Structure 1
Amino acid sequence: MASVHESTEMYPVHRVPATRPFVWLMEGWDSLIHSWQASLAHGGIIALLGSLILAYDQHPLYIAAAICAFLVVGPVVTAGICELSRCRDHGEPCDFGGSLAPLSRNRASLIVFAEALVFVAVGGFSLAALFLYSGTGAIAPSIEATVWGDVVSQLTPLQVTTYTATFAVLATGVFLLSVVSVPMIIDRHVDAGVAMRMSLKVATRDFPAMIIWAGLIIALVAFGFGTRLVGMIFVVPLLGHATWFAYREMVSEA
Structure 2
Amino acid sequence: MTSKTTDTTPPDHPTPHQQAAIEVNTVTASDITASLKAGFSDFLARPVMSSFFGLFYAVFGILFVWCLVWLGKIWMIIPAMVGFPLVAPFAAAGLYEMSRRLQKGESFSWSDILTVMARQSKREMGWMAFVTLFVFWVWMYQIRLWLAIIMQDASFSSFDGFLNAVFFTPEGWTFLAIGTGAGAILSAVLFSVTVVAMPMLLDREIDFVTAMLTSVRVVTENPVTMLTWAAIISVTMLLSLALAFLGLIFTLPILGHTTWHLYQRAVSTAEA
How many angstroms apart in 2 are the aligned matches of 1:71 and 1:2?
31
**Is 1:230 matched up with 2:246?**
yes
**Cα distance change of structure 1 residues 146 and 23 upon mapping to structure 2, 3 Å threshold:** farther
**Cα distance change of structure 1 residues 38 and 95 upon mapping to structure 2, 3 Å threshold:** farther
**Is 1:21 matched up with 2:35?**
no
**Is 1:78 matched up with 2:78?**
no
Cα pair 2:79 2:143 within 8 Å, conserved: no
How many angstroms apart in 2 are the aligned matches of 1:70 and 1:89?
26
SS in structure 2 opposite 1:190? coil
The CA deviation at 1:75 is 4.2
Identity of aligned residues (%): 26
SS in structure 2 opposite 1:252? strand
**Cα distance change of structure 1 residues 151 and 132 upon mapping to structure 2, 3 Å threshold:** closer
1:114 — aligned with what? 129
The CA deviation at 1:228 is 2.2
Cα pair 1:38 1:95 within 8 Å, conserved: no
**Is 1:87 matched up with 2:98?**
no
Cα pair 1:13 1:251 within 8 Å, conserved: yes
**Cα distance change of structure 1 residues 69 and 232 upon mapping to structure 2, 3 Å threshold:** closer
Aligned residues: 246
How many angstroms apart in 1 are the aligned matches of 2:81 and 2:244?
16
Comparing 19-28 and 114-123, the one that deviates more: 114-123
1:246 aligns with one of 248, 253, 262 = 262
SS in structure 2 opposite 1:149? helix
1:51 — aligned with what? 62
What is the one-letter code of the residue matched to 2:41?
D
How many angstroms apart in 2 are the aligned matches of 1:85 and 1:68?
26
Q: Which has the higher helix share?
A: 1
How many angstroms apart in 2 are the aligned matches of 1:112 and 1:89?
26
Comparing 8-17 and 24-33, the one that deviates more: 8-17
How many angstroms apart in 1 are the aligned matches of 2:13 and 2:138?
28
Normalization by structure 2: what TM-score? 0.79
**Cα distance change of structure 1 residues 8 and 196 upon mapping to structure 2, 3 Å threshold:** farther
How many angstroms apart in 2 are the aligned matches of 1:68 and 1:162?
15
Normalization by structure 1: what TM-score? 0.84
Q: Flag structure 2 segments of 5+ consecutive residues without an equivalent.
A: 1-11
| CA deviation profile, 1:46-75 (whole Å, cap 9, x unmatched) | 111122244357734355567777755x34
**Cα distance change of structure 1 residues 17 and 46 upon mapping to structure 2, 3 Å threshold:** same
**Cα distance change of structure 1 residues 89 and 14 upon mapping to structure 2, 3 Å threshold:** same
Comparing 98-107 and 41-50, the one that deviates more: 98-107
